[in-house]
Amino acid sequence: MDLQPTKLSVTEEQKLEIEWSDGSIRQYGFDELRESCPCASCLERRQKPESTSLLPILSAEEISPLRIEQMNPVGNYAYNIRFSDGHDTGIYQLTLLLQLGRVVA
């Protein structure tokens, strides 16, 4: 039986908290989730060698603290997460979510 999220919430420390069907609870930093975005353009961006000679130009949305604006279930196997920087193409499979974050209970 695959684990399913039973409850999603955002903690006071601005972390995503997911309760799973086995009773375990994991917490996720928004930045961690954003950095782990599995969409094609993020995968490509992460594969490029890091350029340290140029400072990235950040938009206002990128400077303000990242938030999750919306999380929508995709079938019963994944979530689509919409971030406050406007990025919303990542489909986070439950198996990925179970590899990320930190077990808190």
Residue linked to tokens 């490029």: 48
Cα–Cα distance measured from residue 94 to residue 67, given in angstroms and rounded to the nearest whole number: 20
Nearer to Zn ion, 47 or 53 (CB): 47
Of 4-12, 36-44, 47-55, 95-103, the segment contacting Zn ion by CB under 5 A is: 36-44
Asked if 101 is part of the footprint of Zn ion (rule: CB under 5 A), the reply reads: no
Cα–Cα distance measured from residue 47 to residue 27, given in angstroms and rounded to the nearest whole number: 26
β-pair partners for 8: 18
One residue of 18, 33, 37, 78 binding Zn ion per CB under 5 A: 37
What residue ranges bind Zn ion (CB under 5 A)? Answer: 37, 39, 42, 90
